[in-house]
Amino acid sequence: MKTKETTQNVVMDERDRRILSALQRDGRISYRSLAALVNLSPNATAERVFRLQEAGVIRGFSVLVTPEALGHKLQAYVDVKLHAGTSMQAFEKVLQKMDSVRDATVLTGAWDARLRVNCTDPAHLGRIIEELRTVQCVRETSSTVICAELKTSR
């Protein structure tokens, strides 16, 4: 069984960077079109993409769905403080059961974690916050409603 390299061990050249840039713009681009952009054959391009996947540089491909299309008309950030002695792994297990949590990030500073949540309406946000507050490891929450996205990355 082959072990995965860490991204620290990967040597990338300018073509690899151009491949990554093109895939970030359009993850569905064909190898033929991608090859034309980086001046390689489709097979050589596919091999580079596979190598970048194996090395963990490319973590995966996904579909970006507009939250509104799924009925999530409201999105918010919820900052969370955990009780002293709570491990982030324990909190992560709680989050895995919460479908409304879109992203979760560990922070430095006053808050331990920031969640991005999808909600159908303000009442739904209230229920998510209440659910978080009933979890034993959560000490405090603070929420901020997202009004608009100005720039997003893939």
**Residue-range domains of the chain with CATH:** 7-54 (1.10.10.10), 67-146 (3.30.70.920)
Average pLDDT, the chain: 91
Taking 70 as the threshold, does the pLDDT of residue 6 lie above it? no
CA distance 85 to 108: 16
Q: Residue range 99-127: average pLDDT? A: 96
Taking residues 68-73, what's their average pLDDT? 91
CA atoms within 13 A on the CB side of 50: 7
The rounded distance, in Å, linking the Cα atoms of 136 and 19 is 45
User: Using CB atoms within 10 A of its CB, is residue 118 exposed (0-12), middle (13-18) or buried (19+)?
Assistant: buried
Q: Structure pTM?
A: 0.74
Q: What is the mean pLDDT of residues 9-13?
A: 86
Q: Is the pLDDT of residue 12 over 70?
A: yes
CA distance 147 to 116: 13
Residue 1: predicted pLDDT:
33
CB 136 within 8 A of CB 87: no
The three-state secondary structure class of 121 is coil
Contact 143, 128 (CB under 8 A): no
DSSP β-ladder status, 113-119 and 138-146:
unpaired
